[in-house]
Amino acid sequence: MSTQQPAVPSTTKAHISLRPPTTSAHLAQPPSFEPPSTAWLSGTWHVTDSTLPMWKSKRNVSFTYTPISTPSSAEPIPRLDDLVSYQNLSSDRVKTIEGIDTPSSPSTSGQWEWRGKGWLKIASSHWEILGWGDLADGHQWFVIYFAKTLFTPSGMDVLSRQKEGLPEGVVEGIKRALGASEDGGVKQLAGEMFEVVRN
């Protein structure tokens, strides 16, 4: 897998390559995979497609990542403030979920351990980036895999820097890549993916 998907015109059928989750211990990770930098990941992203049931009754779901530590020899990959915002389908009220993302290991980027803030501090989850890229027209995307927890099933989100979402060819390319995954769980989840309402 390339370190980053090459820039492609929005009108083309994009060929997307995605790695399997690291939770699939029996599957080798592509040696060429390099996750995005913290600078690239920082800021607000909009969930365009998902397999997580909780988003079926929500709209305008976004994730905002903000570094909260400075890279150092002891902590080369910064921790992230993780703010999730969304609205119920029938309400204009914006609700939020706040947490902290800590790199799964000091030397491994692209994987994080999330822990909630406040009353959600008892909740935690593992998430990682399966693929990411920049498009020639300025669009940016990445795919998150969430491991199963006591409270939520495993799942995946497709995110776009722009609220209007991604070109259709790119979305279809991502879905094809997920459906062709060697990981059986990812392949099954790919068939459950739905578009998240954005308006």
For the stretch 149-193, pLDDT in tens is: 988 999 999 999 999 999 999 999 999 999 999 999 999 999 999
User: What is the reported pLDDT for 172?
Assistant: 94
Residues 6+ positions from 157 with CB-CB distance below 8 Å: 47, 49, 50, 51, 52, 55, 143, 144, 146
Q: What percent of the chain has pLDDT over 70?
A: 92
Residue type at position 157: D
Q: Using one digit for the tens of pLDDT, what is the confidence trace for 84-101?
A: 999 999 999 999 999 999
Q: How far apart are CA 111 and CA 46, in angstroms?
A: 19
Q: Name the residue with higher pLDDT: 11 or 137.
A: 137
Q: What percent of the chain has pLDDT over 90?
A: 74
Among 25-29, 46-50, 132-136, 137-141, which range has the highest average pLDDT? 46-50
Q: How far apart are CA 151 and CA 123, in angstroms?
A: 8
Q: How far apart are CA 35 and CA 159, in angstroms?
A: 15
User: What is the reported pLDDT for 197?
Assistant: 98
User: What is the reported pLDDT for 2?
Assistant: 38
Q: Burial letters for 63-99: b for 16+ Cβ neighbours within 10 Å, e otherwise?
A: bebebeeeeeeeeebbbbbbbbbbbeeeeeeeeebeb
Q: Name the residue with higher pLDDT: 151 or 111.
A: 111
Report the candidate in 145, 129, 104, 171 with the shortest Cα–Cα distance to residue 37. Answer: 129
Task: Locate 160 and state its tokens.
Answer: 């776009």
Q: How far apart are CA 5 and CA 14, in angstroms?
A: 9
